[in-house]
Each structure stands twice: as C-alpha cells, then as structure tokens.
A and B are shown apart, each in its own frame.
Chain A
Amino acid sequence: MEDIITITVKDRDGEMHKLEAPTDMSFNLMEIIKAHDLPVEGTCGGMALCASCHCYVKSNHELSEPSEDEEDMLDQAFFVEDNSRLSCQIKITEELEGLEIELAPVND
C-alpha cells in the first residue's frame, strides 16, 4: 500500500523486527514500536518528558533536528550517543521508508 512504510527495529537482544507503519495517521515512532509489543515504555505518552523511548538512528535518513525539549530530555537519559533520538519525537512520514533504528539500553 502507498501509505504504509517499513521500519526496521533492532531490539535490546539484537533481534531485528520489520514493522509496518501507516503514514496517514499522525503516529510517532514510539507509538509504532509500542504497538508491535516491543519493550519501549513511553511513560510520558510522547511529550518528550521521560526518555524511556530513547533509540539510535542507524540509517542515513534525513530526520528533522531534535527540538530543544528533546535535547533537554536526552540530558537526563543515559547511553546517549550522537545518533540518539527520542522515538516519540519522530513523526511517521513517507520519507522514513526503510528507516533503521536500535533501542537504547535501559539502566535498571
């Protein structure tokens, strides 16, 4: 279908998951990952207020720059790298076809 893209997510055990995501329902990436029952908390519900959906962007897709709010929240996250993002702040659009991400480790 035209308005469905495929995203690859590497979970914390190194397993790869191909997820389908509709582009016309204003989902964000965290919601898609959660909907597929992958272990992302999304505690704050997508407000960039908890960092529990921290992931690494592995492919070369051009994403919108993180907002100041997102950067601020990443300051409270751990294992932060240059390619770190909060998946709740990434809107699902057709440009993201083939996106590859990896879930960041959690510190428990």
Chain B
Amino acid sequence: MIKTDILIVGAGPCGLFAVFEAGLLKLRCHLVDALPQVGGQLSEIYPKKPIYDIPGFPSILAGDLVDNLMEQIKPFKPTFTLGERLETIEQTGDKEYTATTNKGTQIQAPVIAIAGGLGCFEPRKPPIENLANFEDKGVDYIVKDPEKFRGKKLLIAGGGDSALDWTIELASVAKDITLIHRRSSFRGALDSVDKVMALANEKKINLITEAQAVGVNGNGVLKEVIIKSKSNGEFALEVDNFIPLFGLSPKLGPIADWGLSINRSAIEVNTEDYSTNKEGIYAIGDINTYPGKLKLILCGFHEGTLMVQSAFKYIYPDQKLSFKYTTVTGITGVE
C-alpha cells in the first residue's frame, strides 16, 4: 500500500505542477497515469508542437515543458505509478481514501486531486458491428507479446507508425500477414514505410491499400474479416487475428463512476478551491468545469495552486498556513 498526502490522478502538466505547489506546503504527492510516460496530452499527442501561452516562455515545445516541470518538482520527490489506470476510489476511514488501479496497486491518501485531462487514452476501435464480441478472441487493439502471434494468419489495419512497426516486427513471427490501409500512402516514419514497401515487394507481407475492414465473422472465435476495397469491392479474408491500430483517443473512463458531479464529461467544481461534491476530492485542469472555464494549461496551474491550499487546511485543520513567496524562502525539498 502506497501512502501519500495527495493522490494526483493524471500526470499531465497540471498534475505535475500541483506537486510543486503541494511541495511548498510540505505535502507529498503520488501520481497515477494510465499512460506509460508522464506529460499527458503533451507527450502523447503533441510533444513537438510549440506552445505560445505559457507565461514567461514566448514559445516552448510541449515535450520541453514536461521536462521542465519534471525538473521543477524534483526537490519534492513525487512518486509515480505509470501505465496503470485508476479504477476505484473508496472511502476507508475518516479523511482516508483508498484508490486501486487496474493492476491492483493501492494508494491511500486523505486527499485526491483529479487532473485527468480528457480522461484515459484508449485505443480507437473501428466501427465494425460485432467487433466487441471478438475482443481477445482474435481481435487485439494492442500488441503486448509478439509471441502470441507466432505461426498465425494476421490482419493489421492502420497507416501510422504503430501499424507499420508491428507489421515489420510481426512479419517474421506470423505465418502470414496482411496490412490494410485507407489510402495508398502512409504517414509513418519514412524508414518504416520503406521497409513495409520492401516486404510487400518481396511478398513477405500482403499489402492492401485504399481499403477498409468493414466486418468480422466467426463462431466464438474470429474466422474472417470482411474487407471493402476501392478496386475489388467486398471480400472476406480468413485470419486468426485482426489487429486494428488507429491510435489512442481519450475517454472519461472510470472517473465517471466515482460519484462525482459530472457535466458534459467534465467534473463540476467550486472555483474557490476546485473542490468537487465529495469531501477531500478536487479536480483541476481540463477535466473540471465551472462558469467561465477555459481549457488552458496556465489555468490548470492556477487551479492546482489554489487546490493545494485548501487541501492543506483540510488535512491539517488546526495548523495555521501562512502563504510565502518562493522568492523570499526559496525551495526546500523533502528528505
């Protein structure tokens, strides 16, 4: 069991900066994120895009902002559980919540700050009827262990890096592999595109372009995928496994089940301290909503700052909290 003062759900920019503000008040933080790396959207969607509205930075790459935030919070020694999705929050005592991830990691804290951004990033699932019936019975959205596909007949769908990379990797493992893509050109890294084209020319993979998977059939387990091609119409391809790789998109996920007041996929908060309807639970950044809400990183920084002041008073109602500027006192890290 991990014990901390503030459990921060989401390691995006707002969650990270909240560690700094909490640290100034000597509050320790543990962060959980469903993604395997910190930074949230900034790392997952646009690490190479410049951001122009961070005060003091005329322009900063999203990835660099994440690196800087990690550097800034280092003195406060935050701890992380990455690549795990927080599933449940349970009140287990007076000012005590116990949260559990999908992998069974448990974290205990008096305060929970949800900085979940847009929710959890999950694989995009193509709109094919019955597809859900074959999940784990021939349909996979992520490749965890290539060995699972040894000697199998595979169909991979998609045109990005993950579709290309897995096609290359699995070409030597699978018995037979087909890659299907909507267009005739690919958006992946040039090197990967060249490799896939070479494999296709050597007949080591089957490449079907300007086509989409439109149906799946099978009896309990997947038997065939129906493909609709611009030039050849509809036809069935017999496969053991179908791996659609269309990137990740955010879903609110389990956050919706925590008894919080939700309005249009966002958590309603009191703007005095960004508290939710549940005592000891706060929501900051893109995940919250209130009159006048703007989904900006800089607003999330502000929200986190006010949030930790309130969290301190909630955890230590008898202690007096006097606000100090870092320019006066500097930064005192934790042991």
Contact = CB atoms under 8 A, between A and B. Distances in A.
A79 B160 CA distance: 17
A72 B182 contact: no
Contact of A50 (B160, B187, B249): B249
Interface residues of B, number: 23
A107 B125 contact: yes
Given A68-B187, A71-B187, A76-B246, A49 B124 contact: no
A19 interface: no
A32 interface: no
A26 to B, nearest CB: 15
A52 B183 CA distance: 19
B182 A47 contact: no
Given A43-B118, A47-B46, A49-B46, A72 B187 contact: yes
Given A47-B49, A50-B45, A78 B126 contact: yes
Contact of B158 (A50, A71, A75): A75
B146 interface: no
A79 B127 contact: yes
Main secondary structure of the interface of B (DSSP, over half): loop
Contacts of A49: 45-46, 49
Interface string A25-58: 0000000000000000001110101101000000
Interface in A56-108: 68, 71-72, 74-76, 78-80, 105, 107
Given A68-B187, A76-B160, A107 B49 contact: no
Nearest to B251: A108
Contact of B181 (A50, A75, A79, A107): A75
A39 to B, nearest CB: 10
A45 B249 CA distance: 14
B151 interface: no
Interface in B102-134: 118, 124-127
25 contacts: A44-B41, A44-B45, A44-B46, A50-B249, A52-B249, A71-B183, A72-B159, A72-B187, A75-B158, A75-B159, A75-B160, A75-B181, A75-B187, A75-B246, A76-B124, A76-B158, A76-B160, A76-B246, A76-B247, A78-B246, A80-B212, A105-B127, A107-B124, A107-B126, A107-B127
